Structure 1
Amino acid sequence: MQMRCYCVIHHGKPLELVERDVPEPKGTEVLLRVKAAGLCHSDLHIWEGYYDLGGGKKLSLADRGIKLPLTPSHEICGEVVALGPDAQAAAEALAAGTSAVVHPWIGCGECAACQRGEENICAKPQSLGVLRDGGFADYVIVPHPRYLVDLAGLDPVKAAPLACAGVTTYSAVKKFGTRIHEGPVVVIGAGGLGMMALEVLKAMGAHGAIVVDVDPAKREAALAAGALAAIDAREDDAVQQIVAATGGGARAVLDLVGATPTVKLALDSCARGGHVVIVGLMGGDLTLSLPIIPMRPLKIEGSYVGTLPELRELVTLMREGKMQPSPVSTRPLTEINEAFEALVQGKVVGRQVLVP
């Protein structure tokens, strides 16, 4: 039996349709029929073939071990079709027909990070849609049933973004600890992650959120989703607006863009003792006056996606009705290149989810 895969064959060129045999799961593998697959900004980096390091420097994805052709998408929901012989005996095995969201951030299982349960930062990752074929296909192979989280009635289209946009913002927000209750969290970027962050903050009982974005449509969407205020990052007094809106400076800033101007804005907007968590990978570099960091003192931290336990926690929050899905728009899988183009042009509010 044949299946469709939409693959990056050449960086920067349209994804191409490739017909392949439906794989047979071996060992602990599980075969899923894809029900929904989200499109993330990280998929754009894979398509482009590099990360911008600033100063004219680029990190080639080939240097990170990413090889073409590759089927992208790491935000995957699907239905269990078949299990390998060893998967059937695993305690985590889900029966055929079960709908599940996939934790795509798979590690080697042996290093210190994996032993801590942090496979997402493994030095030898095997992430689906990044280093192994992902969800822009009719079927996908998952290496072990433990990476499947039972949806138990949740809509696969609305749940797919939990695997990246959801777990990424949830993991990042958890790093702030009790600061989310001390005053508004400043969220820079109101795209797919930003809208998800608003729902995560509500579910965690946060004080509220001040959203910063250059796009008026996204600012309006953020206000409609419950943001306390929405500020245009391009305004000359954007820093002053943030300081005023947070009552003297931000205690917690979540930068979901991760570009030179947004990180500068985050640091300039902080109160003394402020904590900045950088998630976005848009790129650039930054020059800092080092004495400022201990004198203020500031905490600058990176956060990369999230762990399997965090994804399980997030699905539970949504299943119990404590967290609402962020906005999604659906397209048939055949419109994958149009979806990429819309994301490149910044025309997407929330998340685009492709449906085979």
Structure 2
Amino acid sequence: MKCYCVVDFHQPLQLREQPIPDVRDAEVLLKVRAAGVCHSDIHLWEGGYDLGQGKRLSLKDRGVTLPLTLGHETVGAVHAAGPRATQVQAGRNYLVYPWIGCGACPACAGGRENHCTAPRYLGVYRPGGYAEYLLVPDERYLIDIGDLDPATVAPYACSGLTTYSALRQIGPEIYRDHPIVIFGAGGLGLMAVEILHALGGKGAIVVDIDPAKRQAALAAGALAAIDGGAPDAAQQIVKANGGRPVQAALDLVGAPATAGAAFDTLVKGGKLVIVGLFGGGATWPLALIPMRALSIVGSYVGSLQELRELMALVREGKVKPIPVHRYPLADADAVLASLVDGKVVGRAVLTA
């Protein structure tokens, strides 16, 4: 089978020919129908994360080995199933939950495999969906999508799940009565606007430096779209919130500038949820965190149960699809390069 792999960090993805995996036990082999190209794939391609102050987290030190087939937003049709995989149907399309843990630690036992310290994430530690076939270690990680479009569903495995879980951490007692500030209007930001609406939220004030992405946010129903590069961006955020500091902010970028702007615009007792992994270091005065009673929370993707909850909303038609741009698998490297250059509005998806 064909797959597109990171062979050397910062180098073009390479086409590799690999044997089609055999299945055993509860494993399921999918013929890939759609694979989302996510910003997290950029960090995997780069080989690490900027921790600020000259420090860097190396993915090799975290157990990521090359060559690596990227792709953690995958929909596929069942091609083969092991003898214990009895609940899936041949030829039917399923969304894959990729954030698979070790299965034995307290996090996994509590249903939070995404918090596992010995993870087996697909497209990170195991081969992902930039390929013709994907081996899923257990059928329980598959969600039947019925007649839904594979290309529009695939991004829910990461961008949808990540924002859904982050909004849950903000909590309905906040987002139903107060606008939420969302930093970043890429695939995650547009997904967050849609999911916030589906959850009965008051609305979103979106911040991004790209005018095309701000326009896409407005088209998706954002209350306001503010240029994050403007010198008075913080004041514009407060003005868009009726002249009041905001109750909660969702930082989907995770850069010093966005986290700093979020910190500056929060009300006393407010909450900042950081999702983005752009990198760098925070410069907040530590004393202001208790003095202003702020909650600063890190949120990493989401649980299998949360993905099931999100897909229930999708099936009910409560979450409208974000703009999706489809490309053949052979364009994997070019599409990833476009994402690196910030040229993708919405979500790019490789399709078969």
After TM superposition, the score normalised by the length of structure 1 is 0.97
Decide which of 179, 187, 190 is 2:185's aligned counterpart: 190
- DSSP-derived class of the 1:171 partner: helix
How far is the alpha carbon of 1:288 from its aligned partner? Answer: 2.2
In structure 2, the partner of 1:104 is 98
How far is the alpha carbon of 1:287 from its aligned partner? Answer: 2.3
Decide which of 236, 245, 255 is 2:231's aligned counterpart: 236
Bigger shift: 299-308 or 177-186? 177-186
* Identity over aligned pairs, percent: 57
In structure 1, the partner of 2:111 is 117
In structure 1, the partner of 2:329 is 333
Residue correspondence of structure 1 range 67-216 to structure 2 within 5 A: 67-88=65-86, 93-177=87-171, 178-216=173-211
CA contact (8 A) 1:79 1:96 kept: yes
CA deviation profile, 1:160-218 (whole Å, cap 9, x unmatched):
00000000000000001111022110000000100100111010000000000000010
In structure 1, the partner of 2:22 is 24
CA contact (8 A) 1:186 1:209 kept: yes
CA contact (8 A) 2:68 2:127 kept: yes
CA contact (8 A) 1:38 1:353 kept: yes
CA contact (8 A) 2:260 2:283 kept: no
- DSSP-derived class of the 2:56 partner: strand
CA contact (8 A) 2:256 2:283 kept: no
In structure 2, the partner of 1:342 is 338
CA deviation profile, 1:203-250 (whole Å, cap 9, x unmatched):
000000000000001001111110000001111111111111123111
Residue correspondence of structure 1 range 212-227 to structure 2 within 5 A: 212-227=207-222
How far is the alpha carbon of 1:297 from its aligned partner? Answer: 1.3
Q: Distance in 2 between matches of 1:336 and 1:182?
A: 42
Q: Which segments of structure 1 move beyond 4 Å, counting only runs of 4 or more?
A: none
Query: Could you list the runs of 5+ residues in structure 2 that have no partner in the other structure?
Result: none
Residue correspondence of structure 1 range 28-67 to structure 2 within 5 A: 28-67=26-65
Aligned-pair Cα RMSD in Å: 0.8
After TM superposition, the score normalised by the length of structure 2 is 0.98
Query: Could you list the runs of 5+ residues in structure 1 that have no partner in the other structure?
Result: none
Give the counterpart letter for 1:133 in structure 2. Answer: P
Q: Distance in 2 between matches of 1:345 and 1:43?
A: 13
Q: Distance in 1 between matches of 2:84 and 2:94?
A: 19
Q: Is residue 325 of structure 2 the alignment partner of residue 353 of structure 1?
A: no
Q: Distance in 2 between matches of 1:158 and 1:294?
A: 42
In structure 1, the partner of 2:282 is 286
Decide which of 245, 249, 253 is 1:249's aligned counterpart: 245
